[in-house]
Amino acid sequence: MMITQEVYIYGKEIRDISSELLFKLISFVPQDTFIFNKSVRENITLSTQTDLTRLERVIKDALLDDFINKLSEGMETILGDERV
């Protein structure tokens, strides 16, 4: 007996979606966490340059805004294993 599996995204079979669109729709979220000895902003974006409006939306969507607002330097607070 052969089992066939199909994967759909937004009602379209995955084989019918271009690789370019798939890369835009799919994200990688590792299960092991790692915090860089960098600012909150840099840990979230992995960059020093980012669209502030987009960053604020991501923080709010991730329910991190209250936590970040309580930090001494907000998004510029340095994180990492060398900090308490």
Q: Return the CA Rg of the chain.
A: 18
Residue spans of the domains in the chain: they are 8-76
- Of 77, 74, 53, 76, which is closest to residue 65 (Cα–Cα)? 74
Cα dihedral 82, 65, 69, 44, rounded to 10, equals 30
pTM of the model: 0.57
**Predicted confidence band of residue 23 (pLDDT cuts 50, 70, 90):** confident
pLDDT tens, residue by residue, 25-75? 788 777 887 888 999 999 888 876 778 898 999 999 999 999 999 999 999
